Amino acid sequence: MRRPGWRVADLRLVLVAVVHVAAWLAIAARLVDVQGLHAEAFAERGLEQRVRHEELAAKRGTIFDRDGVELAVSISAQTMIANPSQLADPVGVAKLLAPLVGVEEATLVERLTREGSQFAYIARRLEREALDNVVALVESLDLEGVYFIDEPKRVYPAGGLASQIIGFVQDDDGVGLEGLEYEFDEVLAGTPGALVVERDPFGNPIPQGQFLVDPAVPGSDLVLTIDREIEFLAQQALTAAVERTGAIAGTVVVLDVQTGEILAIANTPTFDANDRSNLDVDRFRNRAVTDVYEPGSTLKVVTVAAALEEGVVTPSDVFTVPQKLVIHDKSYTDTARTGEEEMTVAEIVARSSNIGTILIQDQLGNDAHHRYLSAFGLGQVASGQFPGEVDGSLQPVGEWCKTTCGPSTAIGYRVDVTPLQMAAVFAAIANDGVWVEPHIVKEVLPGRGAPEPFEPKRRPVLNAETARTMRLLLQGVVERGTGTRAQIAGYTVGGKTGTTEKFVPGEGYSETDRIASFIGMAPLTEPRIVVAVVLDSPQGELEGGVDLRFGGVSAAPVFAEVAEAALHLLGVAPDAG
């Protein structure tokens, strides 16, 4: 019997078995390697691929007016992007989408046909209506290479209203650039959150996967003291006045005298914060707080109020007032008078006599005069809530010359003020002598936590009796003096006109241009509002040759228009028959 030997078939079988065993051993070894020796490292790598660390954007706070109407709000919008290399027909897509997204066709063609480009914006921050149309089209045509990403959009629903106050944010990153958007950027911006989430290759969250969320803290909301309707009417009246008088610019400030709340600040020229393309940055300036001017006759109220408060004069005291007064090398005149006149303090105020006021200041003295100018807030920032707000200029009394500094200051020269500072001066007189810090932010509503109302500073400047006397003197200005155009049917009004030669840096005082202003209050029986109107370089004449460069002619009617509308909107009952 022949002993069986190794046949070829057996060898093959052995070979296959060896290969199998080797393969299984290799798999086992790899398994041990993957699942055992390096399990932790591989698990970590896997997790790294699935887990994404994402930033949760904080919603920017909303800016409301005093009645809770949105003035600036962030909405979710979608940006349409494309990968041009994935587009089958970039030119065709551009032609199709251009009219729907509001981008010029040529611009879109250029973006989508850029050599080697893999990213292009089609349209940024599409709002709902436009977005719905575009999405429907993209879906119906099954366009490849077109995508949508979330990008919040800041919208200003009131358009050009209070633009200089609210300001705006940078389009790309939503950081405040101007106005309250800039000044309160940290408050409005909030704090971004963080999200750790496991996602599948398509970006969908994996259920039961890792999900850690540190929620974003939304930005605080700002409630302003602005009344949208008063703001609108002030803007309308100012724009009309600037057109009528040919002024370069103008400002209107409306203040609540008791609370110091700014009900409106209008500036011309203005802009629409939603569309800032091709705009002169000059329009972004909130002239009520960034521009200074010499207040002229409106500052006489401080001179007279200080003299009354110090007891150096009474309203009925009589002064012999010449038509012209020369002090040192400077001559002062009353243009509306000829010859010497006996005038009471009340008449000096009503007729805005420069020389009469200088005579009163002479009795008051520089030290006391300066003390009151300072107490009324001149030379200091009025509010501190606006970016770029200036403090004006009030020299220390030690630096005043002994000759013309006092007289010039008495009639509103040598002092630089902002319209807001002057409105606050008149508000103090209207508020029984108590100066209240003017402010625009009424309340901050934090994303988390209790509301934070703003408490304005208050300080007494005059006693109530002096303030009441001043109001009567200011009533005389409107009833029989230089401010008759400021009268309002049904209400008692007090105020003061101001006309100063415009100081042009580097050139000196202009011979033609004037700063015309009127600041007044109403109703006088229980003052509620102060309105300050300042026009830069009004020109021309009314019928009959009345010069529009005077505050009583060009600015006083704007006061009347704005104050009447504001009193009606605030529901203030008429106090005059």
Partner 1 sequence: MTAQPLPRPGDRGLEVIEGRAQTRPRLRPWLLFAVGVIIAFFGLIVSRISLDRSAFVLDDLDEKIAAAESQHWDLRLEVARLQSPDRIAAAAAEMGLVFPESRTVLVAPPVLDEALEPEYRWAQLKALLSAQP
Interface contacts to partner 1, rule CB under 8 A: 69-70, 73-76, 127-128, 155, 157-161, 205, 207-208, 228-229, 232-233, 236, 489-490, 573-574, 577
Long-range contacts of 327-336 (CB under 8 A, 24+ apart): 327/358, 327/403, 327/404, 327/407, 328/403, 328/404, 329/404, 330/403, 330/404, 330/407, 330/408, 332/358, 332/407, 332/411, 336/482
Residue pair 521/471 in contact (Cβ under 8 Å)? The answer is yes
Q: Residue 499's closest CA among 241, 263, 296, 254?
A: 296
Q: Which residues contact 56 (CB under 8 A, 6 or more apart)?
A: 192, 193, 194, 195, 213, 214, 215, 216
112 or 224: CB nearest partner 1: 224
Strand 458-460, strand 452-453: pairing: unpaired
Closer Cβ to partner 1, 378 or 488, answer by number: 488
- The residue (of 160 and 269) whose beta carbon lies closer to partner 1 is 160
Q: CA 409 to CA 477: how far, in whole Å?
A: 20
> Chain-centre distance of CA 384, in angstroms?
12
Structural tokens at position 125? 């921050």
Helix (H) or strand (E) run with residue 183 in it: helix 179-183
Instruction: Find the shortest distance in angstroms from Cβ 252 to partner 1.
Output: 15
Q: Which is nearer to partner 1, 127 or 144 (CB)?
A: 127
| β-pair type (120-126, 211-214) | unpaired
User: Least distance (Å) from partner 1 to the CB of residue 577?
Assistant: 7
Q: What are phi and psi of 122, to 5 degrees?
A: -95, -50
Token pair 């103090």 is found at 428
What is the edge-to-edge ordering of all strands in the sheet holding 78-82? Answer: 120-126, 78-82, 146-150
Judged by beta carbon, residue 104 or residue 127, the one nearer partner 1 is 127
Catalytic residue among 220, 297, 353, 517: 297
- Annotation marks residue 517 as catalytic: no
Q: Which amino acid is at 566?
A: A
Task: Please tell me the distance from the alpha carbon of residue 496 to that of residue 482, in angstroms, as a whole number.
Answer: 8
Q: Are 443 and 223 in contact (CB under 8 A)?
A: yes
| Nearer CB in complex with partner 1: 198/294 | 198
Q: For residue 310, is it left (φ>0), alpha (ψ between -120 and 50) or beta? A: alpha
Q: Whole-number minimum distance, CB 485 to partner 1, in Å?
A: 16
Q: How far is the CB of 76 from partner 1 (least distance, A)?
A: 4
| Shorter beta-carbon distance to partner 1: residue 68 or 201 | 68
- Write out the two tokens for 137: 């089209």
From the CB of 266, what's the least distance to partner 1, in Å? 12
Distance (Å, whole) CA 46 – CA 62: 42
Distance in Å, CB of 74 to partner 1, minimum: 8
- Distance between CA atoms of residues 108 and 405, nearest Å: 64
Query: Smaller CB distance to partner 1: residue 76 or 85?
Result: 76
If the CB atoms of residues 208 and 331 are measured against partner 1, the closer one turns out to be: 208
Q: How far is the CB of 565 from partner 1 (least distance, A)?
A: 10
Q: How far is the CB of 232 from partner 1 (least distance, A)?
A: 4
**Least distance in Å: CB of 198 to partner 1?**
11
Looking at residue 503, the DSSP 8-state letter turns out to be E
CA 237, 239, 242, 245 torsion-angle sign: negative
In whole angstroms, give the CA distance from residue 349 to residue 297.
Answer: 9
Catalytic machinery residues:
297
